Structure 1
Amino acid sequence: MKHLMSLAGLSVAGLMLVSCNTQVKEANYQVIPLPQEISVMEQAAPFILSDGTKIMYPEGNERMQKNAEFLASYIKDLTGKSLSVQAGTEGKGILLQLGGSSENPEGYQLKVTDANVVISGPTEAGVFYGIQTLRKSIPVVQGMDIALPAVEISDYPRFSYRGAHLDVSRHFFPVDSVKRFIDMLALHNINRFHWHISDDQGWRIEIKSRPELTEIGSKRTETVIGHNTGKYDGQPYGGFYTQEEAKEIVAYAADRHITVIPEIDMPGHMQAALTAYPELGCTGGPYEVWKIWGISDDVLCAGNDETLKFIDDVLGEIIEIFPSEYIHVGGDECPKVRWKTCPKCQARIKALGIKGDKKHSAEAYLQSFIITHAEKFLNDKGRQIIGWDEILEGGLAPNSTVMSWRGESGGIEAAKQHHDVIMSPNTYLYFDYYQSKDVENEPEAIGGYLPIERVYSYEPMPKSLTPEEQKYIKGVQANLWTEYIPTFSQVEYMELPRMAALAEVQWTMPAKKNYEDFLKRLPGLVDVYDVYKYNYATHVFDVNAVFTPNPQDGTLDVTLSTIDNCPIYYTLDGSEPTAASAQYTEPLKLKENCTFQAVAVRPTGNSRIVKEDIAFNKASMKPVTMLQPVNKQYEFNGAPTLVDGLKGNGNYKTGRWIAFYKNDMEAVIDLKEPTEIQSASISTCVEKGDWVFDARALSVAVSEDGQNFKEVASEKYPAMKQDDKNGVFNHTLTFSPVTARYVKVTALTEHSIPAWHGGKGNPAFLFVDEISLN
């Protein structure tokens, strides 16, 4: 992983006061997540937080005592001050109390006068969130008193379920690291920790009645290198939590008003369990704990009564460890290929009278049988199940809560059926995705592209639901899968500061949300990250470069900005920019090939360099019209992307590519005057596992009037084979020189995915970037 520079000291310094020869620094209540109501009393005197300040809590309330001790430790971390904690409610200082006017159990009031700081809430959890707001408002400074301006804050969360997920199956993290993750959640007002503790690559929780699960299932012989390259590291890998360690983590989270929701994924993602108990699989094995990433065809045998007993045994011990109302049963990515040929599974289908229909196969309905069995077991013990949106397939168990990850459609469908929903769409909330387009300078990730701005933009209430249906949207969660995240330092890097954007989606009302304002508040939270030495990503402090094709002027217009309006310097000749380079003062209008580079220069250190190779051709910055639609999901900036002089890399989600699905690409470029050309080229991006395939044909036609076209060249390409590589493909047609004003470039999509692929027979996506005419 690249070690990125620390940006401590970036936040705008609080007001510095001088009082009785003691320097005082002022607190700032504009924190993340932003409270719902902040009323600062402009003329009133502030409360001075000094070494002698006391923190008081109601006598006999252990949870409130714990809250008081947390506040004292936070203030010591930020300021070095050691505040005393005492029972009672008399005297000056910081008073924590139950009560107040909030109807939301996690709401609070924070009232500051010159005599007292009072944090009140209907529950200890509400008071804890008031403490987090106070904590984040205090500047990070040693050796100074803190002035807390007189204020009244009334605050409460938008959603009752505010979750973050961590996968410890693909890579295992020790107890101290899991506790550190929980501390990160507390800082961001997150109250649910979804702990993914079993999968094909490792079983991570002790089950005393099934000891082989950890004796055998927690260890894999080695791990694949990279994206299933076929090469392995040769290093045995393992790790699991004893039940006592898991209970310790549950208690640690509970002290911070966080509920741990365990996930035992079933009936798929069970290869580690099958390695320990091969008789639970359809083939009987032998199996091995998986060394690769992906989805195994080997799943629990749904026709075997021993499978049902196994589920009961495991869940019976899980509920003894985890007191959460919800137990997550996965239910996702369960291939049915073994069930189709398994005599026991087919006998079960027959015995249950299951029939396939237009909506689902008989085997899909069989999965619902397994999930319903798990649900009934848990319901009988006073618990509820939650599962990924695949549990909708084959009919949803009656009391299930659905976690919608494959976009929002599963959540919308579940809400319409009056099931509770947690929104967790991969398109906005998968923190294992890249957070920069510059993937060469990022730690390896699963793919995708999810910058902090996109996380912040997420609105969890689908407009397609009625107000009554929207009531079933109970919360929001971000997920971190760890196939490519071997260290906890990298967990921090992938989570932060995207978790700050998540916090505001979960807590703050949409009318209060504003991304530009969020960016102004973020440096104050980053100062807190620095106190705890979190390894956060710093992309948000880099130069933000926006490239806009300008067909009118024939230029690529470049607009630069930074989060804190610091000076920006740039070069166009390939040399590294420094404070001695040209300073950016107004948008640049580029007309020719160049290597553009820019850097933000700050007293705390320079940002990373933003670099783009810009290549002009005869199509560049010209008007472009699409005769067939661009796919809405991957439209990004639309047709101008094809002629903006910027090349996409091997990640099709960066916005440098646009997609076509269920139709072909037909782009007409207006060269604005008759122009001679003799070649045309396009680039495509291929990721076969995601149904993203190469073009099947390319053709070029020319016209004088934009209506009547004559083809000048064409070429067909074979269907992709299983061993064809993923990545960027370039296609060029050359022809005798021809003069024309309008040029139509047509690329045919793969209309039927080949039989060797899991999506066989379906149309594929075609991702296209730069059209070059020369």
Structure 2
Amino acid sequence: MNITYFIFIFFALINNPVFANETVQIIPQPSKIEYGEGAFALKEGIDVIASENLQNEASFLADLLGKGLADKPQISKDGKGIHLIMESDLQGQLGKEGYVLSVSPDGILIKAATSSGIFYGIQSLRQLLPSDFEYEGKYEKIEVPVLQITDTPRFPWRAFMLDESRHFKGSQEVKKLLDQMALLKMNTFHWHLTDDQGWRLEIKKYPKLTEIGSRRRDTQTSSRSDERTGVPHEGFYTQEQIKEIIEYAKNRHITIVPEIEMPGHAMAAVAAYPWLGSLGTTNEVPVTFGKMNDSFNIADPEVVQFLKNILDEVFTLFPDNVVHIGGDEVNFKPWEESKMANRFMKEKDLESPVDLQIYFTNQMSNYIDNAGKRMMGWNEILGDDIHEEREPHTNKTKQKLAKSAIVHFWKGDLDLINRAVKEGYDVVNSNHWDTYLDYTYDRTPLSKSYAFDPVPEGLDVKYQSRILGTGTQMWSEWIPTVPEMEKQIFPRLAAYAEVGWTTRKNKNYDRFQSSLKELKERWTLGGINFYKGKDIDN
């Protein structure tokens, strides 16, 4: 036993206080923890000391402490208590998201170069408190051990994706997930809002996208099955609801990246406006899942302008920098059989439907660039046959993807990542075998999630900065309910949070499993379902 433990026992015998975690259990594991002697008594009457430009973070902390103490702390500009200090000069040491959390017998200090760093320091302090602090009763006093945490993230992109096209979940569940992302220092919410089976985003210029495209009459129950639920499914977000969620995420230092699928996964939109399609036969939102028959007719300038008009509303609605256009699993057959598409390819000297997609993607990339934002897409936007299903004549390309695009790798040989970064592209690595949350725990156990490294083995150090980070994806085709979905997400989300934040040398699966026990207690008290089966230490 170390000296800190004996100090805890001594104080317990005298004052019988409640102790914060005597062995620090924080997920994701911080870069450096230094232990001292003694403790700080966190109790009623403490103030949060912060400047005007940290009022959001100070309010978050005061609200948090008010859940577990007898009274909610006051926010002051000076005095004793918990100090939040932002110093831009610290960016050289801590980067944009790092922080230092210092606990002394006289108080608590969190300092960082940015408000994001301050917020993440608060999340670490939060995990030093008892797991039931925010949920049950009021504490008179908590002894927080003397220590100093110096912490910076490994990657700038630490994302979770929610697919609501296939099964709509709603604002309450989205906010619940954002809260857990914040606790785990994840900074990007990738919101999959459109696909074949449902259009979930209100577009003022095109109301039929939600009037028609947000509803389907039935739903397939399992892959390759003729069984249906027999129940209609619908739902979408108004722009006012979107704005509210964006603000909620912003206050938790989470960027929202909307995904508006094009040119494939388009049939909900085509059902709303049939002239957008290539086949001329799509007239309802599909009730089955998989690779669908129709794609946007991107040889038609009016269709391209329609998509640009949608992006204009997306640009206005979502203030952050990146817009995801999907670009995956495009069915080329409609273009191959289209006189308009073939005439267009000949006019533009395009070799194949693949070339046509890259040509279109570059149009969108340039349009997004001109709006002061940046396009992202699944790695098919590079033109590779990652599904190994094309005929040789459909695989010829002259076009090259614009270098400003972010490539979201999900499928194919890892050498494709090496090639992409060497050619100058930034990459987010979400290899499906390692990061897809709809996969079973037999297929992707917690240990495999934790072991994932976004940097491919053997990648030259000079290219590693091109790996922006990682995402984990909750696809919802076969996971219709919230309890089912949460069990797929938790506890794996904690593993991916550590993949994105913690350096390789600081990762340890046994330590992670031990720390996870604290999170499970929080999830139980917070009404969050989590998986308790194989490969999970209960």
**Same fold by TM (over 0.5)?**
yes
User: 1:56·1:87 contact (CA, 8 Å) conserved in 2?
Assistant: yes
Structure 1 segment 648-667 matched on structure 2, within 5 A: none
1:398 and 2:392 are equivalent in the alignment: no
Of residues 128, 132, 145, the one that matches 1:149 is 145
* Structure-2 change in CA distance of 1:540 and 1:191 (3 Å): farther
Greater share of residues in strand: 1
Cα distance in structure 2, aligned partners of 1:113 and 1:286: 66
Q: CA deviation at 1:180?
A: 0.9
- Inter-CA distance 240–329: structure 2 relative to 1 (3 Å threshold): same
Structure 2 residue 65 is matched with structure 1 residue 72: no
2:221 aligned with 1:225: yes
Equivalent residue runs for 1:133-148 within 5 Å: 133-141=124-132, 142=137, 143=139, 145-148=141-144
Deviation at 1:23, TM superposition (A): 2.4
Aligned to 1:300: 296
Displacement of 1:83 after TM fit? 3.2
For 2:44, the equivalent position in structure 1 comes to: 51
**d(CA) in 2 for partners of 1:135, 1:180:** 17
% of aligned pairs identical?
35
SS state of the match for residue 534, structure 1? coil
Residue in structure 2 matched with residue 515 of structure 1 by the alignment: 509
1:425 aligns with 2:431: yes
What SS class does the counterpart of residue 251 from structure 1 fall into?
A: helix
Alpha-carbon distance between aligned partners in 1 of 2:172 and 2:18, rounded to the nearest angstrom: 36
Counterpart mapping for 1:110-129 below 5 A? 110-129=101-120
The one-letter code matched in structure 1 to 2:528 is Y
Cα deviations by residue, 1:126-169 (Å, 9 ceiling, x for unpaired): 00000000101111355452111111111010001110000000
Is the CA contact 1:136–1:528 (under 8 Å) kept in the aligned structure 2? no
Please give the TM-score of this superposition, normalised by the length of structure 1: 0.64
1:35 Cα deviation after fit: 0.5
| Partner secondary structure for residue 372 of structure 1 | helix
5+ residue gaps, structure 2:
384-396
Name the counterpart of 2:275: 279
C-alpha deviation, 1:341, in angstroms: 0.7
Is 1:89 paired with 2:89? Answer: no
Matches within 5 A, 1:31-430: 31-41=26-36, 44-58=37-51, 60-61=52-53, 64-77=54-67, 79-90=68-79, 92-99=80-87, 101=90, 102-141=93-132, 142=137, 143=139, 145-355=141-351, 362-393=352-383, 394=397, 395-407=400-412, 408-430=414-436
Amino acid at match of 1:499: L
Shift of 1:302: 2.0
Query: Deviations 1:395-428 (Å, cap 9, x if unpaired)?
Result: 3223110010015344322112110000101111
**Kept in 2: contact 1:29–1:134 (CA 8 A):** no
Deviation at 1:29, TM superposition (A): 2.5
Q: 1:494, 1:73 → 2: CA distance?
A: 30
Q: Provide the residue aligned with 2:494 in structure 1.
A: 500
- Structure 1 residue 522 displacement after superposition: 1.2
**Shift of residue 540 of structure 1?**
6.2
Matches within 5 A, 1:432-447: 432-435=438-441, 437=442
- Letter paired with 2:369: N
> What's the offset of the Cα at 1:82?
3.1
Contact kept? 1:29, 1:137, Cα under 8 Å: yes
Answer yes or no: is the 8 Å Cα contact 1:55–1:83 preserved in 2.
Answer: no
Per-residue deviation, 1:81:
4.2
Partner in structure 1 of residue 390 of structure 2: none
8 A Cα contact 1:112 1:148, kept in partner: yes
Superposed displacement of residue 18, structure 1: 2.2
Q: Which has the higher contact order (CA 8 A, sep 6+)?
A: 2
Is the contact between residue 66 and residue 73 of structure 2 (CA under 8 Å) also seen in structure 1?
no
Q: Secondary structure at the match of 1:257?
A: coil
**Is the Cα contact below 8 Å between 2:44 and 2:140 reproduced in 1?**
no
Cα shift readout 1:326-368 (whole Å, capped 9, x = no counterpart): 100000000100000101110110010112xxxxxx1100001
Residue 460 of structure 2 aligns with an amino acid whose one-letter code is T
Decide whether the 8 Å contact of 1:266 with 1:329 is kept in 2: yes
Give the counterpart letter for 1:295 in structure 2. Answer: K
Determine which of 17, 30, 51 is the counterpart of 2:25: 30
The 8 Å contact of residues 57 and 65 in structure 1, kept in 2 or not, is answered as: yes
Q: For 2:260, what is the secondary structure of its paired residue?
A: strand
Summarize deviations over 1:254-285 as a string: whole Å, max 9, x none: 00000000000110000000001111112222
C-alpha distance in structure 2 between counterparts of 1:46 and 1:540, whole Å = 38
Match of 2:424, as an amino acid?
H
Is residue 2:466 matched to residue 1:466?
Answer: no
Using the TM superposition, give the Cα deviation of residue 369 of structure 1 relative to its aligned residue in structure 2, in angstroms: 1.3
In the other structure, the counterpart of 1:481 is 475
Cα distance in structure 2, aligned partners of 1:176 and 1:388: 28
Q: Return the offset for 1:76.
A: 4.1
Query: What amino acid sits opposite 1:376 in the alignment?
Result: N
User: 1:20 & 1:72 partners in 2: Cα distance?
Assistant: 29
For 1:406, give the aligned amino acid.
K
Deviation, structure 1 residue 124: 0.6
* SS class of match (1:248): helix
